[in-house]
Chains A and B, each alone.
Chain A
Amino acid sequence: MSAPTFDLGTVHGGLRLPILKDESTAQVIQHVPVPAQLVLPLAQHAGEPAHPVVGIGERVLKGQLIADADGVISAPVHASSSGKVVAIEQWPVSRRLGENAPCIVIECDGVDQAVPLSEEILPFEKQSPDTLFQKILYGGIVGLGGAVFPTAHKLMEATTESLEHLIINGVECESYISCDDMLMRERAMAVVVGAQILLHCLRLNNCYIAVESDKPEAIHTLSDALTEVQDERIIIKQIPTIYPSGAEDQVVQLVTRKEVPTNGLPTDVGCLVQNVGTAAAVYDWIVKGEPLISRVTTVTGDGVHAPMNVKARIGTTVADVVNFIGGYNERAKLLIIGGPMTGRSVTTDRVPLVKATNCILALSETPPVGTEKPCIRCGDCAQVCPVSLLPQQLYWYACADNEAKLRSYGLTDCIECGCCDLVCPSHIPLTADFRIAKLRMRELADEKARAARAKQRFESRTVRLEREQLLRAQELMTQKEEVKKAGPKAIEEIIERSKQKDDADKDEQ
């Protein structure tokens, strides 16, 4: 069932980026064999890192829980193959802050022996949403679109709001990346059944699968799958190919014509967005009993011999993945994990493939970065900003460290898509500046909260000390009055008593 495109909403700005996906979609998804070693970071998701539940030297099986969720928002990690835990140590990873993170290192035995299923798999329609939420949490499933927010938490939080639509996001708007496209082409049924499970969990009757119009094969296979399951609740929506229409809030705006409010979530306008990869992962876990231990990722760029999409176990190092597809060519110079706009360059290919890794991009040269010049206030950045911000003003206030202005100009709404960087004629790294400003803003807020708590504690203490002093003074007064009442004879008695006590003490010595 496909919906017409004329009722789509619009998003401000955006850019038409070069597509560059044909190289990697030429062949079917290849499966990377079990590597010699798996490196599984404890923090592959948003929220608190998982805590290890296996010891060094322990033998683990494929699909076994090796690190459990820790904290309110967290997700467990499972072993991607069978083998022996050889270390739990710092290992280079690709992430926002810092170069290294604690990882569980497994030496694989190559047998790939799976852990036996603990219980019989029931059809999902016969299970209650609460049971399914719990299962999704145990399956280590996180949002595979890039933000890696634990899916179970997202679903449970959404049930507290009044929801109208589930949106399955198959909009992959960044250049080069094609893993979701290939997943939809080859596993359309998994995506559709995954969507049905999510609908059942959320007790919803309306689901849109958003796909870009430049993916006719994916739309075709999805339509076939929908015809096969005969589900009227699920509708395919074609989205124009403009970067960044695949960002969560932008997809909502395009599909439902409702804008997600400032500091709000899609649930505020009755929508819940899940990536197509997440839907397929939910299917794999709930229907087939396989937790999130592998994912499809695009290995591409002009620095590799044969760009393609591969399905690799989580924890396989980038070096192993690239070797599998034929290695780098002599031109390779720069390695990026993620897409060219939102990805991060890494200095080593020892980093593991994690749940968030949708693309491994090897480029022959660093994109030309012009020398930064002063802002000429041309306003090109404001033209392309998909959330209608004024980057030139934000830049101004970020330089001046003016927190109040940054807040009132909506810095917190910046989705860090990088469009402003790309069009800036003065080559100002705006997105990087905004990231730093956001971090600084959070620090300031923390500082303020701490100061407020210290102030409250100091004031409570002052009150307590005053009260104690008052009580002591009152006690002294009552004692004095009692003595006065008893008269001079009583005072003599007291003196006598204390003298006797002194003598007794002396005798003891």
Chain B
Amino acid sequence: MLIAVITISGIALIAGILLSMASRQLPPNDDDLVAKVNDLLPQTQCAQCGFPGCRPYAAAIVHEAAEINLCPPGGEDTVRRLADLLGRELVPLAETPQSRMQESVAIIDETLCIGCMHCRNVCPVDAIVGAQQFMHTILADECTGCELCLPPCPVDCIAMRPAA
């Protein structure tokens, strides 16, 4: 009887020590979780969630307990998948005044562009090409339709049109 108790407690003790060592030595796997959350996001990098891109939002969900319903392009589907992954309560998609879900791409009216570089600097996926004092253009295949390039344009030469 005594031997059995000692053996079992011994095993438990050793296992406990090993586990506590492992948890201190090995790096936390939060990064894995962030990557998983990031994979569920639509990667439009539109910043409508209030974070500067999909990965920052994913990090905020994991580390800062940000809400999971802040992604309009992802829609209800994304909220559902995030809730599944994180074991959180399913909440309806947050309604924001600027919520945009329709797929679109930006196009520059090249007759108006003054080559100011403002839009090029804010594009989250480097889909705008151009140089100072030269006309800019948008790579339609790479544009995610985030609309971040619209406000900085001083001559309002960028318009959104439905994605092909």
Contacts and interface: CB of A to CB of B under 8 A. Distances in A.
Interface of A: 450-455, 457-462
Contacts, number: 33
A457 B127 contact: yes
B124 interface: yes
A332 to B, nearest CB: 40
Given A458-B55, A459-B55, A452 B126 contact: no
B63 to A, nearest CB: 17
B42 A458 contact: no
Given A460-B126, A461-B124, A454 B55 contact: no
A457 B142 contact: yes
B54 interface: yes
Contacts of A459: 55
Interface of B: 38, 42-45, 53-55, 124-127, 142, 144
A444 to B, nearest CB: 11
A450 B141 CA distance: 9
Given A453-B142, A457-B126, A459-B55, 8 more contacts: A450-B43, A454-B44, A454-B125, A457-B127, A458-B53, A458-B125, A460-B126, A462-B55
15 contacts: A451-B42, A452-B43, A454-B45, A454-B125, A455-B43, A455-B55, A457-B126, A457-B142, A458-B43, A458-B45, A458-B55, A458-B124, A459-B55, A460-B126, A462-B53
Nearest to A460: B126
Nearest to B77: A401
Contacts of A450: 43
Nearest to B123: A461
Contact of B38 (A453, A455, A461): A455
Contacts of A461: 124-126
Across the A-B interface, the 7 shortest Cβ-Cβ residue pairs:
A451-B43, A457-B125, A454-B43, A455-B43, A458-B45, A454-B144, A461-B126
A305 to B, nearest CB: 46
A459 B54 CA distance: 10
Contacts of B43: 450-452, 454-455, 458
A462 B43 CA distance: 14
Nearest to A459: B55
A445 to B, nearest CB: 15
A152 B164 CA distance: 31
Contacts of B127: 457
A452 B38 CA distance: 10
Contacts of A451: 42-43
Nearest to A455: B43
Nearest to A453: B142
A357 B44 CA distance: 43
A454 B142 contact: yes
A453 to B, nearest CB: 7
A75 B38 CA distance: 42
Nearest to B42: A451
B126 A455 contact: no
A455 B124 contact: no
Contacts of B54: 455, 458
Contacts of B126: 457, 460-461
A457 B53 CA distance: 12
A403 B69 CA distance: 23
A334 to B, nearest CB: 35
Nearest to B142: A457
A462 B45 CA distance: 12
A455 B144 CA distance: 10
Contacts of A462: 53, 55
A457 B54 CA distance: 12
Contacts of B144: 454
A452 B144 CA distance: 11
A71 to B, nearest CB: 16
Nearest to A464: B126
Contacts of A453: 142
A458 B125 CA distance: 5
Contacts of A452: 43
Contacts of B44: 454
Nearest to A401: B77
Contacts of B38: 455
Nearest to B103: A447
A451 B144 CA distance: 9
A453 B143 CA distance: 10
A302 B45 CA distance: 59
A462 to B, nearest CB: 8
A449 to B, nearest CB: 11
A454 B54 CA distance: 10
A23 to B, nearest CB: 46
A24 to B, nearest CB: 43
Nearest to B53: A458
A460 B144 CA distance: 16
